[in-house]
Amino acid sequence: MAAVAVFLVMRPGGGENTATTTSGKFTLGAKVDVTSQTIDPTGGTITVGSKGGPIAGITLEVPQGSYDKARDFKVFYRPIKASTYEDGTPLGPLISVDNGGGYSNSAMTLKIPVTIPAGEYAVAVYYDEKTGEIEPMPLVTEDATSITVLTAHFTDISIMQVVKSLTAAALSAIDVDSGFRPSADDWQFPNSGSYLFSGNCNAMSVTAMWYYITQKVGNKAPQLHGLLDNNGNKPATPGIRSDGSSS
């Protein structure tokens, strides 16, 4: 992840808001266990009751078929005592859900009660305690008292109040450039599909983004485009699609 992450949120009902948050760190308090519940493959809902303290009222909906076997869900939190993020203020503690790890087969809906000051908005983010990196979660809806997001896996989650709101005109004046360039940072082969699928759009897009963020930017690796032609064997075979090259 780059040193600065840019949040661009299209709010329900129209209007754009953006803010930058520099990579930082939370100073955390002791872990507080809140609730645990077993969810079987038929799905279910977990609600944190009044004994949940600052995270009381959280609701997690697990659709039927999200997991092939029963999973034990444990919900806990850690108070955020201090934060070094410059443009985002945490609203409440760091929230955690532990269900054994891995990705679900269906997106789960997480509704988190939170008080958002008038004129501001909030972003739910994944938090990596080791690196300090944060990643915005997919937003479903947001109002003055709650934020609802989607997730297919769990890690530490924080609600960040973004303190800088901009109009569409002001937003258009901001120069935002990820640095990702077609024909340099994408795959070089065409999306011809496979035996199983007519197209591989999702896989090609996600792997290209992963490589760019974690390898090229994160580890100064060479560009992806053309990197895996013939698995590096010589001579190169740019005319043979099946070995990872374009025609």
Q: How high is the pLDDT of residue 73?
A: 96
User: Where does a domain end: 172, 194, 220?
Assistant: 172
Count CB atoms within 10 A of the CB of residue 220.
Answer: 7
137 and 241 part of one domain: no
Dihedral angle sign, alpha carbons of residues 46, 10, 215, 197: positive
- Most confident by average pLDDT, 18-27, 118-127, 171-180: 118-127
Tell which residue, 61, 55, 165, has the closest CA to residue 104.
Answer: 61
Radius of gyration (Cα) for the chain, nearest Å? Answer: 21
Q: 79 is in which domain, residue-wise?
A: 4-172
Residue 1 has pLDDT above 80, yes or no: no
247 vs 85: which has the higher pLDDT:
85
20 and 136 part of one domain: yes
User: Where does a domain end: 172, 193, 217?
Assistant: 172
Q: Residue 22: in which H helix or E strand, if any?
A: strand 16-22
Dump the DSSP string for 129-151.
Answer: TTT--EEEPPEEEE-SSEEEEEE
User: Where does a domain end: 139, 172, 205?
Assistant: 172
162 and 186 part of one domain: no
Residue 48 has pLDDT above 50, yes or no: yes
28 and 145 part of one domain: yes
Mean pLDDT for 188-215 is 83
On whether the CB atoms of residues 150 and 138 are closer than 8 A, the answer is: yes
Q: To the nearest whole percent, how much of the chain has pLDDT over 90?
A: 44
